Chain A
C-alpha cells in the first residue's frame, strides 16, 4: 500500500490540519538528517500526544505504510532518512518536561525535549542529565534513546541506556505500552533494554523516564598538547592503565584543532599534532589530587602546553570547541563523511595510523575528533560534493576505515548507530545466525516491517551506502 490523499485526510483528522505536510517541495526539505544520504518521505506528521502517535501508527499499520520517527534530525547514520518513503513522525511538538522529581532524581519527559534543555531545567534542583552527545544543543531525548547515544562524559557515566529507567512506547500495531518504570532495576525480560538503541525499528518512543544525577561539586578540565596522534593515544592508555577513569577523555587531531580554533578562539594550540581534553569531577580534594596525577602521566607521555580551565566560562569554551568540532570542519571542506567505530583502547594507535594511511591513499583530508577514553574513533573524511568523482572515493575510503576497525577487533558503531550507513557491513561482525536471531526479535515487535524499514539489517535490494541518494546530491550527479 502507498500513502494517498485519503490517508492524508485521516492523519489530518488525528493531528490537525496544519500538522501534516505532504506537498512535494516541502517534503524535499525533510529528506536528510545529519548524515549525507537523503530520501523523501511521503508525509511529515507532527503528533502532539502519545494518543495521537498511537492513532497515526494504527492508520499506518492498516495501510502498511512505513513509519520513521524523527527527533531533531541530527543523527549521523541516516536513522531518520525515509528510504522507503512513508510517514516521518516528527516528535518536535512533544517537548514538555512533564515532571522532575528531585528526591527520586528522575525526570519524565516527552521525546522532543532537547537534551541540553533538560539539564538546564534540572539545574534548578542541582541535577543534570548525564548523556551529552555533541549535538546536545539541538538533539532530543527521544532520539537519544532510540539511538542509545553516547557523548564525551559517557566514559565515566555510561551511555543513554544506563540512564533510561522506563519508556512509554507505541508499537507497530498502534498499541501504547509502558516498559519498565520508576524502579532503578529493570526486572523480568528487559524490554526497555531492547528498545533503547533499536533505532526506530521496534517502536516509537512517546515518553522517557530518565535518571538525573547530582551536579558534581567540583570539576577540573585540562587541555594538553601532544606532538602526534600516536603520543596522545599512548597517553590515553597510560591514564587508564594507571587506574584512573576521568569523566571525559577526548582527542582532537591537528586538522580539527585548526578548524575549531578558527570559530571558538578557545586557546587550542594549533601547532600541536593532537590535543587531549581531560575532565575529572567529584569533591574538590579528590579532583585536585587526580588532576595532579593526570598531569604527571601526560607529561611523561610527552604532553606539553597543559592548561587547566580557571573559570566556568573557560571550561565552557573548551567544551564548546569540542562539541562544535564536527560542524567546524565545514571551514575546511563543505561536506564531511563522519564515521564511527570503536576499538579496544590499546589498539587506538594502530587504527589511527591505518585511518591516516587510507586518507593519504585516497588523497582525502581526514580529521579525527573522538572519545579517546573509550576507544571510540570518529574519522571525518572531508570533501566537496561539487568535485567530480569524489563521492565514490569517499565511500570506498570510509568502508576501508571501518574494515580496519573490525580487523583490529572493533565494532561497527560506538554511538551513532548502524542506521542506513552501516547496515550492509553487519555481516562483517555478525554471523547469519546472529542476524537471524535479531530479525526474529524485530518480527516479534513489528510483523509487517513498517517501522523504519531498511535500517540496521543488511538489505539485499539496496546498494550499500549510496552517498548519492534521491537527494540534491544525486541530482548533481546528473551534471557529470
Chain B
C-alpha cells in the first residue's frame, strides 16, 4: 500500500504533485476567491484551478490553450491559502503553474511585452526612473489626459531620493539598524509613502540603511510566471544585502515583502513589513490628533501571504482621535494584483466595483493600504465614482500623528 503509482512522462516538472495532492476538494476556499465571487464558476476558483493543474501534471487531461484563461484569471491574491484548513501551498502552486503555462502556451504579443517590460524595465530601477521622469513631464503639460480613460497613474511627484551617504540617522537614541527596500515602483509612484515610512523608522529609533545597487526584488516577475528572471534578481540582491549588517530589512510594499520572505532564504526572519516592525518596536507618543474616519484595505500579500492583519489595525487604532471602521470584507482583493489590472482589465474592474460598494458604505474619509498596487487601484476606482475619499499609504496616515503639516 505504500508504493506510489509512478507518474509517467511528466511534462510539468515544476509543479509538485505532493503540493497539488494536499487539496482535499472540500471547497472552503470558494467564496474567499474574488474571481469565484464575481463569476460563480468552479473553473475560476482555487479548487477548480488546482484540479486543472493536477490533471495536467498527472497527464489525465491534455494541455489546452483555452483553459489557460483560468490560470491567467487568478489574481494570485492567496486569500484561499489563508482560509485553507488543509494547508495547500497555493502561492507556490500558482507561481510554478504559471511558469509551466508560459512554457506550454502559444506565444502572444501581450505576454511577451509584459515579460520584456518586467525584465528590461522594472528590473532596472534607473530605466524605470527615466520613464517616470518622462511621464511626469507629460503629465505636467497635460499630454496624459489625452489617453483613454481607465485606470490612471497617480499624478507623479519628484521620485524618492536616497539620502546622501545612503544612511538616514535615527532621531534620538539609536536602538536598531535597518535596511530599507526602495524597490522599483514605489519610489516613482508613491515617493511620499516612502518618505513617511523612513521618517517613522527614524522616529522609532532606527538608523536606516539604503543598500546601493539594489534592484527590483523580483516579485512582479515571479507573479507573472517568470521564475528565471526573478532568480537573477534574487542572486544580485542577495549579494547587495550581504554587504552590511542590519537587524531587519523593512518593506512598505506588501507584494515585495511576501516575495522576499518566500524566496530569499539568506534573509530568513529578517524581512519585516513596515507595520509588523513598527508594532514590534513601538512608536514614540503621538503628538497630534488624527481626527478622521479611517478604514483599512488588507493588501493580499500582507493579510494572506504574510498573515499580517493585526499590526496595521493596532497601529491605526493607536492614533489619537481616529475613528476606525471596517469594511464588510476588508480582506478581499481590490483587483489590482500587480500587472493583473493591466493584463485582465475586465475582471479586475468587476472585482473593483464590488470593493468600491463595500468601501463607500463605510463612509470613511481615508482608506489606508500598505501596498502601491492597492493604492493605485483604489484611487482610480474612487475617482471614477466621483468620491472624495482619499487613499493613503499607512505610513502617511501614521505620520500625521507626528507631522500633521507634512502630508
- Mask, A9-39, CB within 8 Å of B = 1, is 0000000000001010110111011100000
Q: Taking the nearest CB of chain B, how far is it from the CB of A5, in angstroms? A: 17
Q: Is the CB of A330 within 8 A of B43?
A: no
What residues of chain B lie closer than 8 Å to A46, measured between beta carbons?
Answer: 40-41
Q: How far is the CA of A158 from the CA of B6 in the complex (A)?
A: 48
> B87 an interface residue at 8 Å Cβ cutoff?
yes
Q: How many residues of B contact A (CB 8 A)?
A: 45
What residues of chain A lie closer than 8 Å to B48, measured between beta carbons?
Answer: 29-30
Q: Which of A208-216, A227-235, A411-419, A471-479 contacts B (4 or more CB under 8 A)?
A: A471-479
> A125 an interface residue at 8 Å Cβ cutoff?
no
> A363 an interface residue at 8 Å Cβ cutoff?
yes
> B4 an interface residue at 8 Å Cβ cutoff?
yes
Within 8 A of A (CB), among B1-39: 1-6, 8, 21-32, 36, 39
> B318 an interface residue at 8 Å Cβ cutoff?
no
- The size class of the interface chain A forms with chain B is 35 or more
What residues of chain A lie closer than 8 Å to B6, measured between beta carbons?
Answer: 479
> B317 an interface residue at 8 Å Cβ cutoff?
no
Q: Is the CB of A25 within 8 A of B61?
A: yes
Kindly report which residue of chain B lies nearest to residue A30, judged by CB atoms: B42
Q: Taking the nearest CB of chain A, how far is it from the CB of B84, in angstroms? A: 7
What residues of chain A lie closer than 8 Å to B25, measured between beta carbons?
Answer: 32, 34
> B145 an interface residue at 8 Å Cβ cutoff?
no
- Mask, A238-261, CB within 8 Å of B = 1, is 000000000000000000000010
- Mask, B53-77, CB within 8 Å of A = 1, is 0110010111010110010000000
Contact count A vs B, C-beta below 8 Å: 145
Interchain CB contact (< 8 A) of A327 among B24, B51, B55, B61: B24
> A288 an interface residue at 8 Å Cβ cutoff?
no
A263-B87, A330-B87, A388-B1 are known contacts. Are A29 and B51 too (CB-CB below 8 A)?
yes
Q: Taking the nearest CB of chain A, how far is it from the CB of B386, in angstroms? A: 26
What residues of chain B lie closer than 8 Å to A150, measured between beta carbons?
Answer: none
What residues of chain B lie closer than 8 Å to A328, measured between beta carbons?
Answer: 85-87
Interchain CB contact (< 8 A) of A476 among B22, B60, B83: B60
Q: Is the CB of A92 within 8 A of B60?
A: no
Q: How far is the CA of A476 from the CA of B59 in the complex (A)?
A: 10
Q: Is the CB of B87 within 8 A of A331?
A: yes
Q: Is the CB of A138 within 8 A of B3?
A: no
Q: Is the CB of A476 within 8 A of B40?
A: no
Q: Is the CB of B5 within 8 A of A386?
A: yes
> B328 an interface residue at 8 Å Cβ cutoff?
yes
Q: Is the CB of B3 within 8 A of A388?
A: yes
Kindly report which residue of chain B lies nearest to residue A27, judged by CB atoms: B43
What residues of chain A lie closer than 8 Å to B61, measured between beta carbons?
Answer: 25, 28, 472
A29-B43, A472-B55 are known contacts. Are A387 and B60 too (CB-CB below 8 A)?
no
Q: Is the CB of A263 within 8 A of B85?
A: yes
Q: How far is the CA of A23 from the CA of B43 in the complex (A)?
A: 12
What residues of chain A lie closer than 8 Å to B24, measured between beta carbons?
Answer: 326-327, 329-330, 334-336
Q: Is the CB of B62 within 8 A of A25?
A: yes
Q: How far is the CA of A393 from the CA of B32 in the complex (A)?
A: 35
A25-B61, A30-B42, A384-B21 are known contacts. Are A138 and B5 too (CB-CB below 8 A)?
no
Q: Is the CB of B83 within 8 A of A137?
A: yes
What residues of chain A lie closer than 8 Å to B54, measured between beta carbons?
Answer: 472
> B88 an interface residue at 8 Å Cβ cutoff?
yes
Q: Is the CB of A93 within 8 A of B28?
A: no
> A325 an interface residue at 8 Å Cβ cutoff?
yes
A26-B67, A46-B40 given; 9 more Cβ-contact pairs under 8 Å: A21-B41, A25-B64, A25-B66, A72-B31, A92-B36, A92-B41, A135-B26, A325-B85, A330-B26
Residues of B that sit less than 8 Å from A by CB: 1-6, 8, 21-32, 36, 39-43, 48, 51-52, 54-55, 58, 60-62, 64, 66-67, 70, 83-88, 328
8 contacts between A and B (CB under 8 A): A23-B66, A44-B41, A90-B42, A92-B39, A327-B85, A334-B21, A390-B1, A475-B58
